[in-house]
Amino acid sequence: MIVQVLQDALFAAIASVGFAAISRPPRRAYFYCAVIAAAAHSLRFILMSGDVNIVVATAISSFAAGTIAVLLSHTARTPAETCLFPALLPMIPGMYAYRSFGAMVMCILGEREAEFNHYFYLFASNGFTCVAILLGMVAGATVPMFIFKKISFQATR
Amino acid sequence: METPLIVWCCTVGLILILLILRLMPHHISNRKHRIRIFEIGTEREEFFVPGDSLQKYDTIDYNDDF
Amino acid sequence: MISEASAPSPEELGCFLSQYGAWLLGSGSTCIRVEKNINRMAQAFGMDVEITLLPRHLQIAVCRCGRDSVATCLSAVCQTPTSFNIITRLSELSWAIADGRIDFATAKQRFDQIVCSDRQNKTAVLLMVALANASFCRLFGGDAAAMAIVGIATLCGYFLKTVMIERGIDIRAVFIICALVSSILGATGILFPYGSTPYIAVATSVLYLVPGIPFLNSFSDLLHRHYICAFSRFADAVILTGCLSAGLCGGMLLMKIGMF
C-alpha cells in the first residue's frame, strides 16, 4: 500500500509539473506545484482506496491542497492559485468530461429506445460526476483562501 | 483490420512529413514566391467586402491557447 | 498613500488600470484577483474605482476620493495564452505600487516589460507535457508500454498544436485535429498488440488537451459570484472539451474501437 501511495504521489507530481508548463508558471513555482500535487493526489488515492466517493475524496484532498498552497504561497512568493491550480490538474475529471460527450453522440446515433436510454444514462452520469468533481474540487481549494484571506492575497507583497 | 492500419500509416506519415519540414526551416519559408495549393484563410479574408483596403495585417485572428 | 503631486490624473490611471486588468484577465486570472489588485493600486493613488468585468471586455471608472468627476476606460481583454508568470509578476507590481515602492511612471514601464517578456522554451514544454501525460496514463493503471505510446502520441499531438496555433488556425479546429491524431497514435497498442493495457493508452492519450485551468477558473468565479465570467469561461471550456471528444470519437471510429 505504501509503495502504491508513493508511486501515485510521484506520478501525480510529474503530471502536475508537465501540465503546469502549458500555463507558464514562474520557474520557482514548479517545485511547490509538484509538492502540492503529490500530497493531494496521494491523499485522494488513500481516501478512494477506503471506499470514499470520488467527489468527496476530491473535495477533501483539494481542501488539503488549498491549505498547503496558501501556507506555502509566502515562501514561494506567488499568488496561491499559481501553485494550486496546476497542482489540481491531475485531478481534473477529463475522462468523465469526454465520456459524457461521447455518450451524447452515441445517444443521438442510437436507433432503439433501450440503446438511447443506456447512452443517455452514461451521458448524464458522466456529466454530473464531472461537474460535481469540479465543483467539489474548486470549493475545497477555495475555502482555505477564504479562511486565510490575508495570507493568500498578500503572498506577492 | 485494413482501414485502421491505413489510417495509422497515413497519420504517422503526415506527422513525419511535418516534422521533416519543421526541421528544415530554410527549405520552404525562404522561397519568395512559393505556390500554395491549400491555404487557410484568415478571418479578415472571410469577411472581406469589395472596397476594403488590401493592406495586410500581422495580427493573428485566433491565438487563444489554453 | 502616494503624494498628490506625483499621482496620475484619473484618466491616466484609468487607462493604465484597464490595460492592467485586461492583461491579468486574459492571462487566466480569476475575477476576484483582478478586482483586488486594481482596487489596491487605485487606493494607493487616493482614487476610488468601480470595475465592470465582462468576458471579453473590462470597464473601469476612476475618480479621486470625495470628488465627483469620473474617468471611464474600456479595454478589450487580451487574447493571450494562460500565463501564471504574468499573473504573479503583475500581482507583485500591484503590491509595489500599493506599498509606495515605485511611482506611476516606473509602474507603467515595468508593466510594459512584464507583458513583453513572457517567453517560454517550446521544446522543453513539449517534452514536459509528453512526460506528464505518460505519468497520467500510469495513474490510470497503464503499463510501461501504454506509457510509452501515450508519451509519443502526446509529443506528436502537442507538436501539431504548437504548429497550428502559430499559423493562427482556429483553436477549436486545432483541438479536433490534435485529439484525432493523438487518439490514432494512442491506438498503436491495439493495432500492433503490444502491452497489456492498450485501451488505457487510447483513453489517456488526449488528456493533455483537457482545458483544466479554464474549468477551475470558471468554478472559482462561480463561487465568487462573478456569474457572467464564470459561465463564459465554462462555455469556452465545454466547447473545447466537445471538440476534443469529437476528435477522439473520430479517431476511435477510424481505428474501429468502441468508447464504452
**Are residues C250 and C133 located together in one domain of the fold?**
yes
Asked whether residue C192 is domain-assigned, the answer is: yes
Residues C103 and C45: beta-carbon distance below 8 Å: no
Q: Per DSSP, what are the bridge partners of residue C74?
A: C59
Helix (H, G, I), strand (E, B) or coil at C58: strand
Contacts of C81 in chain B (CB under 8 A): 63-66
End-to-end CA distance of chain A: 42
- Which of B12, B18, B66 is opposite residue C214, by nearest beta carbon? B66
User: DSSP assignment of C82-111, as one string?
Assistant: --HHHHHHHHHHHHHHHTTSS-HHHHHHHH
φ, ψ of residue C53 to 5 degrees: the values are -105, 120
Q: Which of C116, C142, C158 is the last residue before a domain boundary?
A: C116
Query: Which runs of E-coded beta strand occur in C65-191?
Result: 71-76
Asked whether residue C172 is domain-assigned, the answer is: yes
- Least Cα distance to C50 among C62, C42, C41, C40 occurs for C62
Residues C131 and C151: beta-carbon distance below 8 Å: yes
In what side-by-side order are the strands of the sheet with C57-64?
Answer: C47-53, C57-64, C71-76
Please name the helix (run of DSSP H) or strand (run of DSSP E) that holds residue C62, with its range, or none: strand C57-64
**In this structure, are strands C57-64 and C71-76 parallel, antiparallel, or unpaired?**
antiparallel
Residue C3 confidence class, pLDDT cut points 50, 70, 90 = low
Residues A57 and A70: beta-carbon distance below 8 Å: no
Report the domain count for chain C.
2
**Are residues C103 and C27 located together in one domain of the fold?**
yes
Partner chains of B (3+ C-beta pairs under 8 Å) = C
- C149, pLDDT greater than 90: yes
Q: How far from chain centre, in Å, is Cα A63? A: 10
Asked whether residue C64 is domain-assigned, the answer is: yes
Q: Tell whether C181 is within 8 A of chain B (Cβ).
A: yes
**Are residues C161 and C47 located together in one domain of the fold?**
no
Quote the domain boundaries for residue C177. 122-254
Per domain, the residue ranges of chain A are 2-92+135-153
Residues C233 and C218: beta-carbon distance below 8 Å: yes
φ, ψ of residue C61 to 5 degrees: the values are -110, 125
For residue range B16-51, list pLDDT tens digits in order.
998 888 877 655 555 555 666 777 677 777 777 777
**Are residues C73 and C158 located together in one domain of the fold?**
no
- Please count the residue pairs, one from chain B and one from chain C, whose beta carbons lie less than 8 angstroms apart: 64
For residue range C189-246, list pLDDT tens digits in order.
888 887 888 888 998 999 999 998 998 899 889 988 999 999 999 999 999 999 999 9
Select the highest-mean-pLDDT range: B24-38, C114-128, C172-186.
C172-186
**Are residues C17 and C98 located together in one domain of the fold?**
yes
- C4, pLDDT greater than 60: no
Q: How far is CA C231 from CA A124, C81, C214, C216, C218, in A?
A: 20, 19, 11, 12, 7
**Are residues C134 and C242 located together in one domain of the fold?**
yes
C-alpha cell at C218: 470558471
Partner chains of A (3+ C-beta pairs under 8 Å) = C
Q: How far is CA C35 from CA C32, C57, C62, C91, C229, in A?
A: 5, 14, 13, 11, 13
**Are residues C248 and C133 located together in one domain of the fold?**
yes
Q: Which of C116, C138, C156 is the last residue before a domain boundary?
A: C116
φ, ψ of residue C9 to 5 degrees: the values are -75, 160
**Three-state SS letters, chain B:** CHHHHHHHHHHHHHHHHHHHHHHCHHHHCCCCCCCCCCCCCCHHHHCCCCCCCCCCCCCCCCCCCC
- Least Cα distance to C259 among C205, C211, C195, C215 occurs for C205
> Mean of the pLDDT values across residues A68-97?
87
**Are residues C111 and C153 located together in one domain of the fold?**
no
Contacts of C204 in chain A (CB under 8 A): 95
Asked whether residue C4 is domain-assigned, the answer is: no
Q: Which of C91, C116, C141 is the last residue before a domain boundary?
A: C116
Which residue in A8, A89, A149 has the most chain C C-beta atoms within 10 A of its own C-beta, making it the best mutation to test that interface? Answer: A89
For residue range A102-147, list pLDDT tens digits in order.
898 888 888 889 989 999 999 999 999 999 999 999 889 888 887 8
How far is Cα C188 from Cα C145, in angstroms, rounded to an integer? 10
Q: Tell whether C187 is within 8 A of chain B (Cβ).
A: yes
**Are residues C58 and C144 located together in one domain of the fold?**
no
How far is Cα C77 from Cα C220, in angstroms, rounded to an integer? 19
**Are residues C58 and C171 located together in one domain of the fold?**
no
For residue range C85-111, list pLDDT tens digits in order.
899 999 999 999 988 888 888 999 999
For residue range C59-79, list pLDDT tens digits in order.
999 988 777 778 899 999 988
Residues C53 and C25: beta-carbon distance below 8 Å: yes
Q: Tell whether A31 is within 8 A of chain C (Cβ).
A: no
Contacts of B19 in chain C (CB under 8 A): 159
Tell me which DSSP letter residue C77 carries: P
Asked whether residue C109 is domain-assigned, the answer is: yes
**Are residues C96 and C209 located together in one domain of the fold?**
no
C68: distance to nearest CA of chain B, Å? 39
Residues 99-158 of C with CB under 8 A from B: 156
**Are residues C53 and C165 located together in one domain of the fold?**
no
